[in-house]
A and B are shown apart, each in its own frame.
Chain A
Amino acid sequence: MNARILLWPGLAWLVLFFAAPLGIILLISFAHRSPQGIVSWGFNLGNYLRLVDPLYWTGPFGNSLVLAALTTIVCLILGYPVAYSIARRPAPLKNLLLFLVILPFFTNFLVRIYAWFILLRPEGWIAGVLRSVGLDLALLGSPLGVLIGLVYGYLPFMILPLYATLERLDVTLVEAAHDLGATRWQSFWRIILPLSRPGMIAGSVLVFIPVLGEFITPKLLGGGKVPMFGVLIEEKFLGRVPDWPFGAALAVTLMALVSLVLARYFHQVKESRWIG
């Protein structure tokens, strides 16, 4: 059997319906801004030259990087125990619990964000409780509020991959460890955790990378006061003063940076390749 049968359908789809649109975006990034803010075709490096301005890196990019990292870490901390607990339960409880993790997302993101508006607003319940213990925190319009919203939105993207790897953990390994005198903690730290590494990495990838380009949650919960790279890009496309070429350049740069990191991280897998 050929790897090509497995490879080509997915690859063709990606090339046609992702790479081609992406190519158009790339072309746009080299164009001039037309008087109406869209595209005046030509060859122009100006959009990329504009990116030299530290304004775009200290604020938006820095925030996006930090918030992406924090979101990933918090999702890991909150999500790992959940995935672990679910994985250990018997079916059908296991499946029900898994669906319950994702059920909130069968509503609508806008509605959920507005629910966070209600919860996080300055005159709201949570802010009131915080004030009563002496913390006068602005939740909406602050990085903290954005973080809460991001963690909320991306938790399933951490839990599901983690669950997928924890689910078929070889229990005999753990039992063997116990027989040999290991404590629960040791067997967790030295056996379970390392075996779930691919799941942790997959979850981290599925959280960190999209959050870098995320714009809806930061824009709404941040109220325009938390600069983020994705919000900047969205403004260039859908803002009152559009600048598609510059927005395209920003997007291409983001993708190029992430690709570079991914390329360095991905080492060739040395294990068995038995599909020809």
Chain B
Amino acid sequence: MTLTRRLTALAMLSLIGLGACTGKQAPPELHLFIWANYIAPEVYQLFEQEFGVKVIEENFDSNETLRSKLQAGATGYDIIVPSDYTVEALIAQGLLAELDLSQIPNFQHISPRFRGLFYDPHNRYSIPYLWGTTGIGYNASKIETPPATWAELFDPARLERYSNRVSMLDDPRETIGAALKYLGYSVNSTDPHALEAAKNLLLAQKPYLARYDSETYDDFLLTGDLVIAHGWSGEFAKARLENPDIHYVIPREGGVIWADNLAIPKSSQRVDLAHKFIDFLLRPHINATIVNYLRYPSTNEAAQAYILPEILHDPALYPPEEIMEKLEWIRDIGDAIALYEAVWDEVKNR
């Protein structure tokens, strides 16, 4: 062979070799930072197979933990799942990447009611994914009349019956919000008189409470240590699978509505892949798989065709329209938050 031919052969072999090397690289990774136990395992497998990607998951158990890590500078995540008010905070801090909705065609399945919500009016940074409500859960076999109003948790006569068997969420906005709702105010009220009244109500309630609990109220409801609890819709729905006596109701004064959202942190290095994952999760079938696993209602209309009827027709999970109208989103109230902080400090520490 001539020299030229040898060199060419060598060059071609090198290229093939390089190509083989790059082919042997580890598959690209997608890093999630999400609620623990939030996505059905088979969904990950399907995604990994279809896109040839490895999904690596890190978890948080509260929005605040998510925020703290991101705010302190943790990077390396491609997908995060913040709740509504957290999206608001992250946008204000410039921690979220802008979404390219053209890469997320399945966005069309999102119900109009959940598009352009107050914290992200054009869905530039987030897409609502699952939602829920906050109300009262109870064990019907241990209560004479089902609760219908927040008075069940605040009226001393009724609290007397539930003494040391009732809990409230360990969450200033939710719990102060419940008191405000009972008193006829908005959960976002900044009226100092309203907050003073709420504070006194909560202080009067405290001796009857078994605990302030956002994590194990469903367990205690099942073990019988709690008879009535302030909590989230999906948790009571899951508990009912274990004990059909557990019910959930949104009081007639109204409750809180919230939504979990998919978002991409600005520090992500795999923004395109993240978009694909979001789009994947919004596929009706996939979304339904997750809903059936988690028992939280979905923002995805097309997914309803695949969601289990018992979830779809559960008024606790998909409340009727007249109740939906009474639900309020917890919103950022700017500096007035100091009022809430003061109330909560007193309620917890007196």
Contact = CB atoms under 8 A, between A and B. Distances in A.
A131 B106 CA distance: 59
B277 interface: no
A122 B170 CA distance: 20
Nearest to A36: B89
Contacts of A256: none
Nearest to B335: A35
A30 to B, nearest CB: 18
Interface in A202-251: 222-225, 227, 232, 235, 237-243
B328 interface: no
Contacts of B224: 123
Contacts of B337: 35, 37, 241
B213 A223 contact: yes
Nearest to A242: B64
A238 B211 contact: no
B308 to A, nearest CB: 30
A56 B346 CA distance: 9
Interface string B212-250: 110010011001110000000000000000000000000
Interface string A105-127: 00000000000010001111000
A104 interface: no
A225 B212 contact: yes
A38 to B, nearest CB: 5
Interface stretch (B28-36, B50-58, B65-73, B151-159): B65-73
A59 interface: yes
Interface residues of B, number: 42
A239 B216 CA distance: 17
Nearest to B332: A35
A117 B216 contact: yes
Nearest to A61: B349
Contacts of B97: none
Given A223-B211, A224-B212, A121 B92 contact: no
B23 interface: no
A140 interface: yes
A35 B89 CA distance: 8
Nearest to A121: B225
Contacts of A20: none
Given A117-B216, A122-B210, A225-B209, A242 B67 contact: yes
A143 B250 CA distance: 33
A241 B223 CA distance: 31
A231 to B, nearest CB: 8
Highest count of chain B CB atoms <10 Å: which of A38, A60, A224: A224
Contacts of B68: 237-238, 242
Interface in B305-350: 332, 334-335, 337, 340-341, 344-346, 348-350
A77 interface: no
Nearest to B347: A224
A123 B142 CA distance: 14
B165 interface: yes
Highest count of chain A CB atoms <10 Å: which of B64, B174, B219: B64
B349 A59 contact: yes
A55 interface: yes
A239 B64 contact: yes
B62 interface: yes
B190 interface: no
27 contacts: A35-B332, A35-B335, A36-B89, A38-B71, A56-B345, A56-B349, A59-B349, A59-B350, A117-B216, A121-B223, A123-B223, A124-B225, A138-B210, A141-B209, A223-B212, A224-B170, A224-B212, A224-B213, A224-B348, A237-B64, A238-B62, A238-B68, A239-B172, A240-B63, A240-B64, A241-B172, A242-B64
- Sorted nearest first, the 4 A-B pairs with minimum C-beta distance are A223-B211, A224-B212, A59-B349, A36-B89
Interface of B: 62-65, 67-68, 71, 89, 92-93, 164-165, 167, 170-174, 206, 209-213, 216, 219-220, 223-225, 332, 334-335, 337, 340-341, 344-346, 348-350
Given A138-B164, A223-B213, A225-B212, 9 more contacts: A121-B220, A123-B224, A123-B225, A141-B210, A224-B348, A225-B206, A232-B345, A240-B172, A243-B341
